[in-house]
């Protein structure tokens, strides 16, 4: 079995998911049992799932979640299946580390990898581990994670791509797993691919360098567009406004997760630095934006007592 590390968790599979392995040091702090991905045996009997929940459409595919009871956090022994229309189904039992897949008529190994890494794992870790994911692009500046958040087409992937081209390690292109450990919120490396373009069912191009371990979140930068001739303004968001900025970017807003989501966001907002970046909507001025954000991030310093 080949060992990978995705979203802070070790994942074992009988074939390499990527051309380059993710550093195992990228595992998140704390105890996280490894997962195993393997094909569903040909002799396995079809399972009946009395409950089917249409999730959403993404990358041109409908997603369905099947189980045997009303939607709630996964319970030990509970059967689950995430079905990607015409591509693949992932099945697992609540509390167990094995994930089995079955390719459908349009399924291929590259599509299996895409749906497993990009969509299935964040959903699985949310249901099974209670992880919290935020929709953001994340890079490191001097070894400290900064997260860019913005509405769809708001420029976070474009800005993240510019940072990568300047040699900054990437933590995540799109979905950032966060963990609370010893009073600090950590951002965890996802997988070493970046997709600054809109193309369905592709992980993107491989990136290097990739963040080697989880680190405490340094700051959030909320991107806002201004006129092409405008200056670059970075202002701090305070109080309840921080919660308002983070709320729309929380992934997987299942109703049964509402209490956890609100509690997590309130604590994260209370303990995090959040800044609004009003920058010109002009790719020709990207270097100015990059330099402004880097200088601002470095000016925040490093929390006292935090080791490199």
**For 129-158, how does the pLDDT look when each residue is reduced to its tens digit (9 = 90+)?**
878 899 999 999 999 999 999 987 788 989
Does position 83 have pLDDT exceeding 60, yes or no? yes
Determine the pLDDT at residue 304.
43
How confident is the model over 48-61, as a mean pLDDT?
A: 91
How confident is the model over 28-51, as a mean pLDDT?
A: 85
The length of the chain is 308
Determine the pLDDT at residue 302.
65
**Which residues are CB-neighbours of 217 under 8 A, at least 6 positions away?**
145, 147, 178, 185, 186, 187, 272
Query: In sequence order, what E strands does 136-281 have?
Result: 137-141, 144-149, 170-172, 175-181, 184-188, 193-194, 205-206, 215-216, 219-226, 233-237, 274-280
Determine the pLDDT at residue 98.
97
Spans of all domains in the chain: 33-130, 134-299
Query: Distance between CA atoms of 117 and 115, rounded to whole angstroms?
Result: 6
**Which residues are CB-neighbours of 139 under 8 A, at least 6 positions away?**
145, 146, 148, 160, 163, 164, 168, 169, 170, 171
Q: For the ranges 73-82, 169-178, 192-201, 232-241, which has the lowest average pLDDT? A: 192-201
Superfamily of domain 134-299: P-loop containing nucleotide triphosphate hydrolases (3.40.50.300)
- Contact yes or no for 170/141 (Cβ under 8 A): no
Residue with tokens 């604590």: 267
Determine the pLDDT at residue 28.
64
What does pTM read for this prediction?
Answer: 0.91
Query: Distance between CA atoms of 169 and 192, rounded to whole angstroms?
Result: 10
| pLDDT band at 86; cut points 50, 70, 90 | very high
Does position 92 have pLDDT exceeding 90, yes or no? yes
Instruction: Please give the share of the chain, as a percent, with pLDDT higher than 70.
Output: 94
Does position 306 have pLDDT exceeding 60, yes or no? no
Q: Where are the alpha helices (DSSP H) in 250-285?
A: 258-271
- Contact yes or no for 198/27 (Cβ under 8 A): no
Mean pLDDT (the chain) is: 89
| pLDDT band at 74; cut points 50, 70, 90 | confident
**Which residues are CB-neighbours of 78 under 8 A, at least 6 positions away?**
67, 68, 69, 93, 94, 95
- Contact yes or no for 224/155 (Cβ under 8 A): no
| pLDDT band at 85; cut points 50, 70, 90 | very high
Token pair, residue 153, equals 């087409």
- Contact yes or no for 149/246 (Cβ under 8 A): yes
| pLDDT band at 300; cut points 50, 70, 90 | very high
How confident is the model over 233-242, as a mean pLDDT?
A: 95
Determine the pLDDT at residue 23.
62
């Amino acid at each position: 079995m080949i060992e990978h590390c995705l979203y802070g968790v070790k994942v074992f599979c009988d074939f390499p998911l990527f051309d380059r392995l993710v550093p195992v040091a990228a595992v998140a702090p704390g105890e996280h049992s490894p997962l195993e991905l393997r094909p569903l045996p040909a002799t396995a009997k079809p399972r009946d799932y009395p409950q089917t929940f249409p999730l959403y459409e993404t990358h041109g595919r409908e997603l369905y979640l099947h189980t045997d009871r009303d939607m709630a956090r996964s319970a030990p022994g509970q059967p689950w299946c995430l079905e990607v229309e015409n591509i693949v189904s992932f099945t697992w039992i609540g509390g167990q580390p094995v994930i089995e897949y079955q390719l459908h008529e349009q399924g291929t190994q590259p599509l299996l990898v895409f749906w497993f890494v990009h969509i299935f794992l964040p959903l699985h870790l949310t249901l099974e581990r209670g992880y919290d994911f935020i929709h953001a692009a994340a890079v490191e500046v001097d070894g400290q994670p900064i997260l860019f958040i913005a509405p769809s087409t708001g420029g976070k992937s474009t800005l993240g791509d510019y940072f990568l081209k300047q040699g900054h390690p990437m933590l995540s292109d799109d979905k950032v797993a966060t963990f609370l450990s010893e009073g600090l919120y950590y951002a965890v490396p996802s997988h070493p691919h970046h997709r600054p373009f809109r193309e369905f069912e592709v992980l993107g191009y491989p990136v290097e360098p990739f963040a080697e371990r989880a680190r405490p979140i340094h700051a959030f930068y909320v991107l806002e567009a201004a006129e092409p001739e405008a200056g670059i303004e970075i202002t701090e968001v305070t109080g309840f406004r921080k919660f308002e900025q983070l709320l729309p970017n929380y992934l997987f807003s299942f109703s049964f997760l509402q209490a956890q989501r609100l509690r997590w966001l309130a604590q994260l907002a209370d303990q995090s630095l959040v800044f609004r970046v009003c920058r010109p909507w002009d790719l020709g001025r990207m270097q100015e934006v990059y330099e402004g954000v880097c200088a601002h991030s470095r000016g925040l310093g490093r929390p006292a007592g935090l080791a490199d």
